[in-house]
Amino acid sequence: MGNGKRVIYILDRFPSDTLNFIYNEIRVLEEQGFTVDIYSLLPANNCPVEAEIYLARTKNVRPVPLLRLIAAIGFYLLRHPLRLLTLLAIPFDNDAPGKVIRSFMHLAHGICFARLVRGRPEHLHAHFAFKAALAALVAARLNGNSFSFTAHGSASIHPPDRYCLKSKLMRASFVVAVSAYNRRKLREVYPGIPRERIPVSHCGILREQFEFIPRESRTPGPLKLVCVASLYAIKNHEGLLKACALIKAQGYRFHLDLLGKDEDGRRQYLENLAVELGIAAEVDFHGVVDHGEVAQHLRTADLFVLASHSEGIPVSVMEAMAMGTPILAPRVTGLPELVEEGISGLLAAPDRPEEFAEAMIRVADEPELGLAMARRARERIESRFDMEMNSRNVAQLFGDLIPD
């Protein structure tokens, strides 16, 4: 039986091959009786098979022809001029002139989205704290809806990448944080928001998709390392390569597989760095690989390594933990909530390659430690980071927090 609650989801770009947690969330909400409509600011670039049913349901806001934008602004200027004018202050909730200009462009798209959903009383929910959250805020102010958003990752809630965040926090009915760390940081931006308006919900993974195969021992030979991360600067592949050079200097043999797409030509830079460090023969850059190949690398790796300067609670780490691959991750942002240091994995400071090197050596010298942590990691995924369970929790949150 339906609960009578209706929700409009708004996202930056949907569907996408990295948003399976959102597909699951929508499915569970609908199973719980919600009616969900989906809007995307930008059309999908590619659509994974599991998202095809959502692609057919998704309405795109952009591209926005100039005449449509003028019509949308004119519509609200005639009907709700004060509401429209008060929105003009929002872009100035930024710390740099460039962000103000960009925010005005996002504001314009939000006005177009508002006109698309005018006259509809549904609650608006955005995923990610960036463009979609601003569009939800704009539509809520112009049309009188309630709105909320889920703050993923950490970049969009931290300078220099956050946009108009205080304005979004001030006006949202509630904000879902994916980690306790994110909740603390959001309250630093706007201390006036009550703690209960920022519930924490870890997204998780569908653990049945990741079979756990206990390992009895480490395969003899070089230490097999795998990193699954696009080559963004924030992922700190430099630090990882430097750590690998340190263990080689101490006489340890290793092989590192880097899985992830090139960004801004960084692959060539990192390949050159590997040559400079004397480890080019031990490092393979695989680029983008399909999920089955990722799983195969995880099955055979002795250690999954991530050295990012900032993260949310990365799905790649959850998947490795679920499959029984020992973990070495950065001691930053929300990761200590996922990886219990020394219990379900190892943590190190991303700006200290020597810490990463020490952890790698520890796994090489004490293989039974890695195997024990891998077993406990699977237990942690099952108890705290199961997507199905956490999606049901989000549905309960929505039932409790969305205004009637």
CATH code of the domain in which 71 resides: 3.40.50.2000
Q: Report the pLDDT value the prediction gives residue 292, as an integer from 0 to 100.
A: 84
Lowest-pLDDT range of 33-47, 139-153, 212-226:
212-226
Residue 33 DSSP symbol: T
Instruction: Give the Cα-Cα-Cα angle 23, 118, 15 (nearest 5 degrees).
Output: 20
Q: Report the pLDDT value the prediction gives residue 30, as an integer from 0 to 100.
A: 93
156 and 179 both lie in a single domain: yes
Does 397 reside within a domain? yes
Q: Is the dihedral of CA 173, 179, 180, 183 positive or negative?
A: negative
27 and 166 both lie in a single domain: yes
pLDDT tops 80 at residue 367? yes
Does 117 reside within a domain? yes
Smallest CA-to-CA distance from 350 within 311, 321, 403, 397 is with: 311
25 and 166 both lie in a single domain: yes
Per-residue pLDDT band for 1 (boundaries 50, 70, 90) equals very low
CA–CA separation, 26 and 99 (whole Å) = 32
Query: What's the domain count of the chain?
Result: 2
Mean pLDDT throughout 24-33?
91
Per-residue pLDDT band for 78 (boundaries 50, 70, 90) equals very high
Does 1 reside within a domain? no
113 and 171 both lie in a single domain: yes
Q: Report the pLDDT value the prediction gives residue 21, as an integer from 0 to 100.
A: 85
Where do runs of H (alpha helix) occur along 80-179?
81-87, 97-116, 131-143, 165-171
pLDDT tops 90 at residue 3? no
Render pLDDT for 165-190 as a digit per residue (tens, 0 to 9): 999 999 999 999 999 999 999 999 99
228 and 199 both lie in a single domain: no
194-200 long-range Cβ contacts below 8 angstroms, 24+ apart:
197/172, 197/173, 198/174, 199/174, 199/397, 199/401, 200/176
What is the domain range of residue 390?
6-204+386-401
283 and 198 both lie in a single domain: no
Do the Cβ atoms of 315 and 203 come closer than 8 Å?
yes
224 and 190 both lie in a single domain: no
Q: pLDDT higher for 20 or 400?
A: 400
277 and 340 both lie in a single domain: yes
Q: pLDDT higher for 346 or 292?
A: 346
Q: Strands of 147-151's sheet, edge to edge?
A: 58-60, 35-42, 6-13, 123-127, 147-151, 174-177
pLDDT tops 70 at residue 357? yes
Smallest CA-to-CA distance from 229 within 144, 123, 350 is with: 350
Q: Report the pLDDT value the prediction gives residue 16, as an integer from 0 to 100.
A: 86
CA–CA separation, 331 and 327 (whole Å) = 12
Q: Report the pLDDT value the prediction gives residue 155, as an integer from 0 to 100.
A: 62
Mean pLDDT throughout 282-296?
92
146 and 172 both lie in a single domain: yes
Does 267 reside within a domain? yes
Longest dimension (CA), the chain: 74
394 and 360 both lie in a single domain: no
pLDDT tops 90 at residue 220? no
Q: pLDDT higher for 289 or 374?
A: 374
Do the Cβ atoms of 94 and 164 come closer than 8 Å?
yes
